[in-house]
């Protein structure tokens, strides 16, 4: 009988993990469109939340390399990564994500949520050469 209790408890904890992550995040859900003004500049909301905890929803674009802690969150599913070569070309409907740990890849058409710290400003990743204007760092992600 003890084995059944252990198996039931283990299964419950695995199934509850995404809910615990969401509950731990006290950040309000942010839409990507709330980060920019019509002219492409950062919104007052984005500026006020730079360096603060945020949560976004979207889709994981295919990672640029295997076993990475980096991926791109997109507003709509994309089967290829929207790699940009300059901050001037940065689309307003993607956010670069820097996870705490190596990510587990989620299929590009499965919706996910990301929680972490919002960072604004031009940044070039030294390892990948990826240029971004908006990032979420120390991030965790889960399926929604």
CA–CA distance, 19 with 122 (Å, rounded to integer): 33
* pTM attached to this predicted model: 0.76
CA–CA distance, 132 with 120 (Å, rounded to integer): 9
Q: Would the pLDDT of 45 be above 60?
A: yes
What radius of gyration, in Å, describes the C-alpha atoms of the chain? 17
Buried b vs exposed e over 38-62: b needs ≥16 C-beta within 10 Å? eeeebeeebeebeeeebbbbbbbbe
* pLDDT single digits (tens) 114-140: 999 999 999 998 888 888 899 999 999
CATH 2.40.50.870 given to domain 28-143? yes
CA–CA distance, 116 with 80 (Å, rounded to integer): 24
Joined together, the tokens standing for residue 46 give 């984005």
For 104, counting Cβ atoms within 10 Å of its Cβ (0-12 exposed, 13-18 middle, 19+ buried), the class is exposed
Q: Would the pLDDT of 28 be above 90?
A: no
CA–CA distance, 69 with 49 (Å, rounded to integer): 23
């Amino acid at each position: 009988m003890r084995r059944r209790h252990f198996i039931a408890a283990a299964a419950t904890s695995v199934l509850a993990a995404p809910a615990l992550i969401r509950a731990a995040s006290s950040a309000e859900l942010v839409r990507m469109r709330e980060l920019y003004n019509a002219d492409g500049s950062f919104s007052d909301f984005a500026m006020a939340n730079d360096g603060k905890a945020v949560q976004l929803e979207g889709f994981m674009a295919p990672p640029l390399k295997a076993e990475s802690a980096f991926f791109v969150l997109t507003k709509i599913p994309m089967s290829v990564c929207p790699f940009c070569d300059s901050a001037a070309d940065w689309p307003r409907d993607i956010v670069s994500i820097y996870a705490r740990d190596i990510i587990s890849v989620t299929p590009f058409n499965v919706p996910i949520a990301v929680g972490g710290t919002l960072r604004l400003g031009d940044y070039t990743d030294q390892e990948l050469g990826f240029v971004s204007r908006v990032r979420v760092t120390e991030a965790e992600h889960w399926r929604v």
